[in-house]
Structure 1
Amino acid sequence: MRGPGYLDIAHLGHVELLTSDFEGSRWFFTELLAFREVAEVDGSVFLHAWDDYERYTIKLTKSEKSGVGRLGLRAASQEALERRVAAIEASGRGIGWKDGEQGVGRSYAFTDPDGHPIEIYYDSEWFVPPVGEEPALKNQADRFPGRGVNVRRLDHVNYLGKDVEENGKFVNEVLGGEATEQIQLDDGTISAQWFHFTNKSYDLVYSGDQTGSTGRLHHIAFATDTREDILKAADIFLENGIHIESGPHKHAIQQTFFLYVYEPGGNRIEFANAGARVLLAPDWKTITWTEAERAKGQAWGMKTISSFHTHGTPPVDE
């Protein structure tokens, strides 16, 4: 079911990734993924994926423990921003207005029920490539880097949540997201939900945190153009000593072709070829997967690796 304010959020704009291995993570994003550095400020570096129209995609921040910082959501208009801020304030989860950074305008900060920091904004500076490095095709943001994995843009963020249903209710009723797919356990508990804000199949995911912790990250995902890009990425990571956790393979849920790795700071990163699947139905009905159906594994039968249910950042002591 679409929540009030459906389409008020245009897309995920950027995300802050906290890393306990700052230089290792920086090397991973710039050398292996071909992100462009656009700024470095106070222990953070701002990185741009080549076809992201906004100034930056990732804020990489030095931290004692790895994990996720603030997620930025771009509103569809100034009026949409004001409507969502009013709904957030009414929910009691608002923090207040703040100045944006690196081209992002005035932003409203809040948290979801799990405590993940989020901000919503509308005003945004578009990326401008350095003089002499403009793309040959003027309808893309930057020139194609032609090296490494060449990820095109941020695709989605998957949070770990202590209570998936409570977080999902917030995304639906306050942010306007619609649950496109979900997993329901035999006892009736919803253990994971996938939400979208427009006709893209999903943007934000909540998975149950089996440690009972709050505010943790399962993974962030980047979009590639083709499945072949993901196969090439697996070879690149193999050659560079990056831990490949799972894949390449095809998910049953959402049908994304995927590869999961751990970047040097320990955060899980997914590479997904998800752009071909859009949901055009104005009356989409949430697809519910049972515990027995999920036990069958992924689309082609590969079982879900056990660390997929246990690893998250920041790490939790035993």
Structure 2
Amino acid sequence: MTPPLGDIAHLGHVELLTPDLDASVDFFTRILGLTENGRQGDSVYLRTWDDYEHHSLVLTAHTTSGIRRTALRTSSEEALGRRVAELEAAGHTGRWVSDEPGLGPLYVTSDPDGHEVALYWGSEWYQAPADLKPGLKNQPQAKPAHGVGVRRLDHVNFLGADVAANAAFTRDLLGARPTEQIVLDTGRLAAQWLTFTNKSYDLVYTEDWTGSRGRLHHIAFATDTREDILRAADICLDNQVFIETGPHKHAIQQTFFLYVYEPGGNRIELCNPLTRLVLAPDWPLVTWTESERSKGQAWGLKTIESFHTHGTPPVA
């Protein structure tokens, strides 16, 4: 197994599918404050202001919602080669593509559930145009003067038919380490949070109650402060954005959060986890029991039922 903080450097970007591309682009740019950085075919490339790469999010027109690709940048070209070799040795065959602007070749494979995972090394560093030049040279882009102004893509929460198998794939073949998990009274693993960095989590696998494969629970964007989450709730209220739940505080990972639906139907979390880092190399895996989880959030209102039932794409 690759040591923690090894061959995968960080979560690069995700591709979301949307049946209403124009409305989704408007939401992510005008409401959340991302910047459009190009179009190609049916896809629009967007970036957060503190991302150094070409894009943080790809929105692609489709007949339904959901997630298509989750891209992870490796720590070197050699690390990319090692991960590809181990994936193929374990039977997770993939393909090489060069279909995203600003990036070198991507090795595209999938986890046991069918979620598309892409690994890459080559990346074009973003150069801000004159109207987006920051005041500080160690910042890639000026902060947006509108919307929430989310700082970066923070994490992805997948829905999966078999949490244990998907988490093992992420740990054993990609080198992530688990930080927290939920284990039911039957002994079944119901959710696991995993990290490639010193953040407390980058990817999450949560059991899909429908038994479906390859679905999405949510993607999350981090804000600078908790107050930004409160401001985001007001902005969403003013702009008729559906607020599912929050602002509240999670017990697991202690994240302060707001969940909304973007116009395409995908759940989006706005979160402030920036103060919680996992610095200990021997961090003990925290396990939450079924009874502990039944108590709900750390504080705030009880978890709304749709949080456990809504995923994309929708199923009958």
For 2:190 and 2:21, the matched residues in 1 are separated by 32
For 2:68 and 2:203, the matched residues in 1 are separated by 15
Q: SS where residue 254 of structure 1 aligns?
A: helix
Alignment deviations for residues 231-262 of structure 1 (CA, whole Å, 9 cap, x no partner): 00000000111110010011000001000000
* Equivalent residue, structure 2, for 1:91: 90
* Equivalent residue, structure 2, for 1:290: 289
Give the TM-score normalised by the residue count of structure 1.
0.97
For 2:24 and 2:201, the matched residues in 1 are separated by 26
What is the deviation of 1:302?
3.0
For 2:208 and 2:110, the matched residues in 1 are separated by 17
For structure 1, the residue ranges without an aligned partner over 5 or more in a row are none
* Equivalent residue, structure 2, for 1:4: 2
* Equivalent residue, structure 2, for 1:236: 235
Q: Which residue identity is paired with 1:175?
A: L
Q: SS where residue 170 of structure 1 aligns?
A: helix
Alignment deviations for residues 113-164 of structure 1 (CA, whole Å, 9 cap, x no partner): 0000110001100111113431111111100112100001100000000000
Q: Which residue identity is paired with 2:58?
A: K
RMSD of aligned Cα (Å): 1.0
1:119-134 equivalences under 5 Å are 119-134=118-133
For 2:83 and 2:117, the matched residues in 1 are separated by 13
For 1:132 and 1:288, the matched residues in 2 are separated by 48
Contact 1:5 1:175 in 2 (8 A): no
* Equivalent residue, structure 2, for 1:19: 18
1:269-284 equivalences under 5 Å are 269-284=268-283
* Equivalent residue, structure 2, for 1:72: 71
* Equivalent residue, structure 1, for 2:108: 109
For 2:118 and 2:83, the matched residues in 1 are separated by 11
Q: SS where residue 221 of structure 1 aligns?
A: strand
For 1:302 and 1:170, the matched residues in 2 are separated by 34
- Runs of 4+ in structure 1 deviating by more than 2 angstroms, as ranges, are 3-6
% identical aligned pairs = 60
What is the deviation of 1:92?
1.3
For 2:107 and 2:99, the matched residues in 1 are separated by 9
For 2:235 and 2:44, the matched residues in 1 are separated by 23
Contact 2:246 2:300 in 1 (8 A): no
Q: SS where residue 132 of structure 2 aligns?
A: coil
Q: Which residue identity is paired with 2:173?
A: V
Contact 1:162 1:213 in 2 (8 A): yes
